[in-house]
Structures are given as C-alpha cells and as structure tokens.
C-alpha cells in the first residue's frame, strides 16, 4: 500500500509491467485509516477508483493536504464485504 503512487498528468495511474486496468469509476467516496505519518492516519476524499489485475488505485478529484492518491495491492486486501444498506448507497469495506 502506498500513498501518492505515480500518476499520469490526466490522473490515470502509471501501470506496472504486465498490469491491465479493467475498470474506472468516478464519484467514489474513499476513507482510510491507520496510515503512518499522514494527517493523524485518517484520510477521506472523493474521486475515481481504478481497478487492475494487480491493485486498486484511488485518485482524489481534489487533493486533501498532501494526499492525492492511494494504491492498494489486491494481494493484501482481505475481509472484504459488499454492503447493501436499505437507505444508503452500496459500498465495499475490507481490511
């Protein structure tokens, strides 16, 4: 996991060797906690999430302090859960 991975000027993440981006969704609300050394470890933002065969990358539409993007390798995502509340938007949570 990495804060502020490399991005192209248009905001698209720079792919790794043999990485293929298969999905991009904008209008995503993103919240993460326990990030060492970054605004008390908690960050919230709105932007676009990119999904590849290797990782998920969230890119904020407006930077929050020094936070612009966050990289999450799929290998380290576990305990994922798709939530469908009655009165709110569907969402995914995980560790």
Task: Note the pLDDT tens digit of each residue in 21-77.
Answer: 999 999 998 888 877 665 667 888 899 999 999 999 999 999 888 889 999 898 988
CA distances from 26 to 7, 15, 52, 60, 86 (A): 16, 18, 15, 10, 22
Mean pLDDT, range 18-23, rounded to an integer: 94
**Cβ neighbours for 79, distance < 8 A, ≥ 6 positions apart:** 94, 95
Per-residue pLDDT at 1 exceeds 80: no
The answer as to whether 56 is a domain residue is yes
Q: What's the confidence (pLDDT) of residue 36? A: 66
How confident is the model at residue 37, as a pLDDT? 62
Residue range of the domain that includes 73:
2-8+19-93
Asked, for residue 13, whether it belongs to a domain, the answer is no
Q: How many structural domains comprise the chain? A: 1
Q: Give a yes or no: residue 14 inside a domain.
A: no
Between 88 and 24, name the one with better pLDDT. 24
* pTM, 2 dp: 0.83
Q: Are 3 and 70 in contact (CB under 8 A)?
A: yes
């Amino acid at each position: 996991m990495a804060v502020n991975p490399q991005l192209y000027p248009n905001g698209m993440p720079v792919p790794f060797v043999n990485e293929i981006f298969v999905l991009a969704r904008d209008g995503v609300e993103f919240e993460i906690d326990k990030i060492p050394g970054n605004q008390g470890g908690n960050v919230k933002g709105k932007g676009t999430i990119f999904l590849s065969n290797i990782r998920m990358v969230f890119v904020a539409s407006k930077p929050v302090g020094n936070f612009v993007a966050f990289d999450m390798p799929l290998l380290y995502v576990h305990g994922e859960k798709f939530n469908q509340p009655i009165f709110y938007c569907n969402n995914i949570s995980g560790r």
